[in-house]
Amino acid sequence: MLAETICSAVAAAGLGIAAITAYRRRFRTAARIAAYSLVPLGLVMTGAVEWAFDTAFSPMAWAGFGVLGAAWLLFLSTRAVDRRRGGRKAADQGGRPDPVAPAASAPSLGQGQRGAAPKPKTAAPAEDFSDIEAILKKHGI
């Protein structure tokens, strides 16, 4: 009963502020204030405030929130384990093997040259990292 009275008073005060704002010819702001002030009144009229009040002081409702929280934690922990183990990846592929072998340098399905000799690797030119080493030594790394 007290919550309904407070919500009604807040709605009345908000409508009064909206009327003053409309008197100052700021109609869009007044309409926005009126909309916000009618929300608590609508919640009282639908019974949502009474339901929330009954829920807040009900031990059974709090036990239900605890069960929902436990279910949520279980769901998140199983998703985290699936992500670490890659279980979702195997389920998405339907048991098919990977298109690239783990130690392969080229894809094993559809790409590459069949029967061709592998290209010889050319030696990369020696790169000079002396400037980078100087910067790292300057910073003590």
Q: What is the pLDDT of residues 38-77, one digit of tens each?
A: 999 999 999 988 888 888 888 898 898 899 999 999 999 9
**141 pLDDT tier (thresholds 50, 70, 90):** confident
Check pLDDT > 60 for residue 125.
no
pLDDT of residue 74: 92
Check pLDDT > 60 for residue 108.
no
**89 pLDDT tier (thresholds 50, 70, 90):** low
Tokens of 43: 């919640």
Q: Radius of gyration (Cα) for the chain, nearest Å? A: 34
pLDDT of residue 33: 94
pLDDT of residue 106: 60
What Cα–Cα distance (Å) separates residue 84 from each residue in 80, 98, 99, 126? 6, 18, 21, 39
Give the residue ranges of DSSP H helices in 1-141: 2-23, 27-46, 48-56, 59-85, 87-93, 130-138
Q: Quick check: 4 and 44 in contact, CB under 8 A? A: yes
Residue range 95-121: mean pLDDT, rounded: 58
pTM tops 0.85: no
